[in-house]
Amino acid sequence: MSRRKVNKDLLLVGLPPVTLGAAALAATLLLMRPAPPSEIVMATGVADGSYHAYALQYRDILEREGVRLHLRPSAGSVENYKHLSDADGGVDVAFVQGGIAGADGGARNVVSLGAMYYEPLWIFHRGDKPLDELGPLRGKMIAVGAENSGTAALAMSMLRSNGIAEPPTTVLKIGGRTAADLLRSGDIEAAFFMADPRAPLIQEMMRTPGLHLLNLKRAEAYTRQHFFLTRLTLPQGVFDLERDVPSGDVTMIGTTANLLVRRDLHPALHYLLLRTATEVHAKPTFFSGLRQFPAPLDPEVPLSEEAERYYRSGSPLLQRYLPFWAANLVDRLLVLLLPAAVVLLPAMRLLPVLYRWRVRSRIYRWYARLKEIELQLEERRTSDELQGILKRLDEIEEAVNHIDTPLAYSENLYVFRQHIDLVRLRAQGRASPASPVPFEV
């Protein structure tokens, strides 16, 4: 059989499954997400705040995985959330204080990766003795945190609840180091802060003579009025056992610092950020135990599907054992090749069957003519008709002898020739009645 004929048979048999495989591959390419970006933007907060400090740790960890994290300082949680929920905000991920997004679930284009840690509210004031409620601060000068910060939003809510947000109380929208310096110098009487207890600013305030940390005896009432708040206890002596700082248990309230991302952020980056968050926030603090965070505790913004799977079963298998870029590459290759493989593998198993059928069909189609001749021999025929039948058998044999057949299928050709000989012998026996017929078919 000529190589050209073989190639034509292989082409005709193999073209349909290859076409189906290519179609499956093309459909996968159209539907598959693009590769995750190598750069993302994170809104943090003020440069000396906890959000920014944690963001620096995130940046270093993501850098190891080949993802560059750009930090965008801001006034705080309110501004962070605005940038994140704005389609043109240019922010992919942000720390946002609980209570900022609202009970309605926030913007539809924002999802949560969970709570990262408890963010306690520190209320420091001047005076002869510690206070246990906000009422005595009426008419005082109070710093509630910077404009557009989560601290200011929560502080103003608490002052309004106690009816002391309006004059004669003087409310200053300043926070951080500026507010701490004013309080320590005596220019203001109280200040609100939201920060990690390990923050240098909090450490200094706890050890400053003349400053007291307000002990909220009605903390439970605040948590019932605001679902995003949690009652926290600062244990006696936790800052300094030798000097007994604080000198007694302090009841506080706080919320969670949540990590929010845009819904359209690549799913692979959801997992990478969660792994990073686990590395950063799993350590114990004054208010949480080992590996208590990150946790799916955000009551306002729904968790992303990737976050739900992460908290249920951990990182995807590939990301557990491969670097981020390698895991993503392998994952994309699997997604790309699997649909084509699903089509091609069954088709490849059928190829030998289809090829065998095509080669044999060139011989088998002659059996119809042979059967027709055999049926004609069942009827009484004249000598001329029998000679015509013999001539037709010779023509069939001549045609079959010119059929291109691969060596692997030559036996089919020889078997068909034997069958021609059987019919020929029968026709010859009819043409010469005196001659014995060797055998009947």
The 10s digit of each residue's pLDDT in 332-386 is: 666 666 666 666 677 667 667 776 777 777 777 788 888 888 888 877 778 888 8
Structure confidence at residue 93 (pLDDT): 97
The 10s digit of each residue's pLDDT in 209-219 is: 999 999 999 99
Confidence band of 14 (pLDDT split at 50, 70, 90) = low
Could you tell me if 259 and 195 are in contact, meaning their C-beta atoms sit under 8 angstroms apart? no
Instruction: Return the beta strands (E) in 101-249 as ranges.
Output: 110-126, 141-143, 170-172, 190-194, 211-213, 230-234
The 10s digit of each residue's pLDDT in 244-268 is: 999 999 999 999 999 999 999 998 8
* Range of 5-14, 118-127, 374-383, 385-394 with top mean pLDDT: 118-127
What angle is formed at CA 95 by the lines to CA 188 and CA 93, rounded to 5 degrees?
A: 145
Rounded distance, CA 66 to CA 88, Å? Answer: 25
**4-8, 112-116, 333-337, 426-430: lowest mean pLDDT where?**
4-8
Rounded distance, CA 62 to CA 64, Å? Answer: 5
Model-level pTM? 0.69
- Spacing of C-alpha 102 from chain mean position: 25
Helix ranges restricted to H, 292-441:
305-313, 317-321, 324-364, 366-376, 383-401, 410-431
- pLDDT above 80 for 3: no
Structure confidence at residue 124 (pLDDT): 97
Q: Give me the count of residues in the chain.
A: 441
